[in-house]
Amino acid sequence: MIKPVNPVHRALADAVEQAGLTGDRSLLFPMTFNTPNGAQASEGPQGNTGWAKVLEQFVRLLTGYTPMRFTPFYVLKKHGETEENTPPRWRTILGLEEIQYLPEDVNDPDKNVSLGKTAHEIWHVLFSRPEIIFDEPALIKNMAFQALWWAIEDPRVNIQGVKRHPGAQEWIDAAMKKDYEIKDLAAEQKRWTEEIPLHLQFNYALIYEWWSGQPDPRVTDERVKEALAEAADPIRRAYSTGDARKSFKIIRDEVWPIYKKLVDESYQDQQDKQQGDGESEDQDQQGQESDQDSDSQSSSSSQQQGKQGKPGKQGKQQKKPQKPVSDKVKEQMEKKEKEFRDKHASKVVDKPEKMSEKEKQDAKKDLERMRKKMGQKQDGDKQQGEPQDGQQGQPQDGDGDGDKSGEMTQQQKQEQRERLSKPDTREETDSKDEAEYKDYFSKVRHLVPVMKAQFQQVMRRKIRRRFLHERKSGDLDEDAISEIPSGRSDVFEESMIANKTLYRVSLLIDVSGSMSGEKKEHSILAAVMMMEALDKLPGVSYEIVRFDDKPQVVKSYNERTTQAMKVAVVKALLKNGGSTQSDLAVREAIQRIRMGRGDKLMMMMNDGDPDNNFDREAYRQMILAAKDIEIHGLGLGPEAQLVIDLFPKGRGWWLNDVTECAKRIREILKKKFLGGT
C-alpha cells in the first residue's frame, strides 16, 4: 500500500512572490523555541534561502495571511535594539508583517526541525493572548510568574496547533527532539545543578514531560520533583484547554502558589551560594526592603520558611531559617527569569511591565486588527478553527450539515437534482477520441481485473435480494419447471435489490491551467481506471466532475455507463481550463452526494491551493463538518504538499510522484469497499 508522503521531503516552488512590508512595527512577539541545553549548532553553510522561501509560503498558508514575510533575524535599531542588547531569536512582528528566524535552524539537515519551529511561531500568533497580562497589575512586573506562564503556554499552543494541523505532529517532535533530547545525562544534570535556578528547572521539566511523557531525569533536586508532582494536575489542565484566558487563570490561581514556594527557595539558594563566596554585604538593610511587594518573585524570600539545601542535593532538604536576599541576588535572578520569559513569550517590544495605560490599550487594538486580518474571532470567542476543549479536532455530533454546503435555496436544490441524472457537458466523440481512450486504458488495464472481481464478490454478498415468483418474464423458476406442461406461463421469477445503492462515489479532477503535462495525464488515468473498475458494478453509483473556476459534471450519478460515455468523459477531462476553484467544486459535490442513499466517498485531485484569496480555514471546516462523507484530497506534484493540512488525518495525500495517482485512487476504493483487505 502506498503511504502518504511527508511534506518535508520535497520543497515547494523554487520561488514565491515577495510581498511588501507595510504597517506598524510597534509590537514585537519574540517566540523562541528555547532549549535547556543552550544554543544548538547546525551543520553546513548558513543561509538556505531556497528552503526559507518554502517556509515563507508555509507561513502564509497556515496563517491565512499572504503578505506575511519570513526573514532572517535582524535588530530593530529604531526601537533601541543593538547586537549587544538583543540576542538573535525567532520572533514575529505584529501587524503580521514578518516572522524572523534563525538561519541555523532553517539550515538544519532535517527539514522537520525548521517546519516544527516555524509552526510553533505561527501557533503562538494564532492561539496565544499576550495582552492578558495587561489586566494583571500585580503580575505584570513579576518575571518569575511570566516565565511560568509562558513555559506552560508553549505546550498549550503546540497542542492546539496539532489539533488544527494534525500532519504537523512529526515536525514538532523533530524540533523538540533537537532542543530537548538528553545527550549526556551526567553532564546535563551537573549543568542544571550549577547554573539553572530551581524554578526554571521546573519550567524546562514540565515542557520535557509534556513532550516525552516521562519525568525529566535532569531534575535531581527533590524540591523541584515535589513541586512538579503537586502541580501536575493543574499544569495538564492549563495546557490542555483551548481557551487562553482559562489557561492563565489556572496558572495564576492553582500553579503559581506552588511555584512561588520554589521561587523563594531558588532565591535563598542563590543567596546561600553568594554567602559562601563572601558576598553577603548589607544583608540587614536588604532584608527590610524585601517584603514590599507580596506578589513579586522576591516578595516572600525573607518571610517564608521552606525546605533548604543546595540545588542537586538528593533526598529531603534540611530546613533552616531563610536569610535576607540581597538586591544583587534579586537582580541576577530576575535577569534569568526575564531571559526565559523573553525566549518563550509573546511580548511587546517596549516591555509590557513598562507600558503606559494608553500604550496597553493601543496594543490591544493592534492585536484585534491583526486577528481580523487573519480571519480570527475576537478575544472572548472561540478562535476560528480552534477545536473545543477535549474535542481532539473532531467535529461535533450532528447531521453533518453544519456548513454552508447544506444551505441551498429551492432553485439550487433543483439545479443539483438535475445534475444527478444529466451531465453538464457532453460532446460528440469520434474514432480519434475512441483511440485516445483505449490508449489510456491500456496503461491502467493491469490494475483493474483483480480489483473489479473483488468488488463484485463483496457487492453480491452485501446486496440484499428478494425474489418475486409467478412472473411472466425474467429468469426461469426452477420450482415451477414441472408445471410448464400444464400450460402455465407464469413460471418465471424476478430478483429485486432492496438497497440498490450501497456506495456513492464522487471524483473531482482539477483541469485548471496549471494541471498540465504528467499531472493531467495521470489524473485522467485514475479516472479511466475507476470507470472500468466500477463499470456495471451493482450497488455503486458514481459521478466524475471536472473543475477549474466552474465545476462541470461530466458523468452523473444516475447515468448508465457505456463505452461512448467513458470516451466522452476523457475528452472532457483533456480540455484545459482557467483558474482553480476547488472549494466551490467540493461544496457542490457535497450537496449532490447527500441527495442519495449509500455510504459516501469523495476524492478530490488538484495541484495546489485555489486562486482568488482562498480561505484555508473555511475550506478545512467545510471538510470537517461533512462528517457523513469520507473526503480525501490528493495533491499532485511538488507544489501540492499542503493538501495534507486541509483534510483529516489519513485522508490528505501528497503525490509528488504523480505516477502514483491511479494506484492511490485504487487503494482508497479498496479500503472503502473491502474494509482494508
Condensed to tens digits (0 to 9), the pLDDT of residues 321-332 reads 566 888 898 888
The pLDDT of residue 593: 94
Confidence band for 149, pLDDT divided at 50, 70 and 90:
very high
The pLDDT of residue 12: 31
pLDDT over 90, % of the chain: 35
Helix 198-212 with 169-180: angle, nearest 10 deg: 140
Instruction: Out of 37-51, 206-220, 530-544, pick the least confident.
Output: 37-51
Query: What's the rounded mean pLDDT across residues 255-276?
Result: 88
Q: Where in the sequence is the domain holding 468, given as residue range(s)?
A: 464-497
Assess whether 561 and 577 both reside in one domain. Answer: yes
The pLDDT of residue 477: 72
Q: Could you report the per-residue pLDDT of 450-484, keeping only the tens digit for each?
A: 999 999 888 877 776 666 677 666 666 767 766 66
On whether residue 600 sits in a domain, the answer given is yes
The residue out of 373, 388, 423 marking a domain boundary is 373
The pLDDT of residue 222: 95
Assess whether 421 and 510 both reside in one domain. Answer: yes
Maximum C-alpha span of the chain: 126
Assess whether 427 and 561 both reside in one domain. Answer: yes
Residue 71: its H or E element: strand 69-72
Q: Is the pLDDT of residue 286 over 70?
A: no
User: CA-to-CA distance for 339 and 200, rounded, in angstroms?
Assistant: 11
Assess whether 187 and 122 both reside in one domain. Answer: yes
Confidence band for 494, pLDDT divided at 50, 70 and 90:
low
| 383 touches 126 (CB < 8 A) | yes
User: CA-to-CA distance for 612 and 581, rounded, in angstroms?
Assistant: 8
Per the prediction, the chain carries an average pLDDT of 77
b/e per residue 358-397 (b: at least 16 CB within 10 A): ebbebbeebbeebbebbbbeeeeeebbbbbeeeeebebee
| CATH assignment at residue 517 | 3.40.50.410
Going by C-alpha positions, the residue among 599, 594, 498 that lies closest to residue 540 is 599
Query: What's the rounded mean pLDDT across residues 44-54?
Result: 64
Burial class for 676, CB neighbours closer than 10 Å (0-12, 13-18, 19+):
exposed
Confidence band for 551, pLDDT divided at 50, 70 and 90:
very high
Assess whether 277 and 222 both reside in one domain. Answer: yes
Q: Could you report the per-residue pLDDT of 556-591, keeping only the tens digit for each?
A: 999 888 999 999 999 999 998 777 788 899 999 999
Assess whether 345 and 444 both reside in one domain. Answer: no
The pLDDT of residue 344: 74
The pTM of this model reads 0.49
Q: Residue 350 corresponds to which cell in the numbers above? A: 517596549
Q: Residue 165 corresponds to which cell in the numbers above? A: 494541523
The pLDDT of residue 190: 94
The pLDDT of residue 30: 37
Confidence band for 623, pLDDT divided at 50, 70 and 90:
very high
Going by C-alpha positions, the residue among 55, 207, 181, 25 that lies closest to residue 117 is 55
Assess whether 431 and 490 both reside in one domain. Answer: no
Instruction: Out of 7-16, 193-202, 373-382, pick the least confident.
Output: 7-16
The pLDDT of residue 166: 75
Assess whether 247 and 142 both reside in one domain. Answer: yes
Q: Is the pLDDT of residue 448 over 90?
A: yes
The pLDDT of residue 421: 87
Total domains present in the chain: 3
On whether residue 491 sits in a domain, the answer given is yes
Q: Could you report the per-residue pLDDT of 62-115, keeping only the tens digit for each?
A: 777 777 788 888 887 776 778 888 788 877 766 546 788 888 888 888 888 888
Going by C-alpha positions, the residue among 526, 460, 506 that lies closest to residue 598 is 506
The residue out of 346, 373, 400 marking a domain boundary is 373
| 185 touches 218 (CB < 8 A) | yes
HSE-up (13 A, CA, CB side) for residue 244: 24
On whether residue 396 sits in a domain, the answer given is no
Assess whether 488 and 524 both reside in one domain. Answer: no
| Pairing, β 540-547 against β 69-72 | unpaired
Q: Could you report the per-residue pLDDT of 409-433, keeping only the tens digit for each?
A: 788 888 888 898 889 988 899 999 9
On whether residue 668 sits in a domain, the answer given is yes
On whether residue 448 sits in a domain, the answer given is yes
Q: Residue 345 corresponds to which cell in the numbers above? A: 513569550
Instruction: Out of 229-238, 300-309, 437-446, pick the least confident.
Output: 300-309
| 27 touches 94 (CB < 8 A) | yes
Residues present in the chain in total: 677
Assess whether 87 and 108 both reside in one domain. Answer: yes
Query: What's the rounded mean pLDDT across residues 11-39?
Result: 35
On whether residue 333 sits in a domain, the answer given is yes
Confidence band for 22, pLDDT divided at 50, 70 and 90:
very low
Assess whether 116 and 151 both reside in one domain. Answer: yes
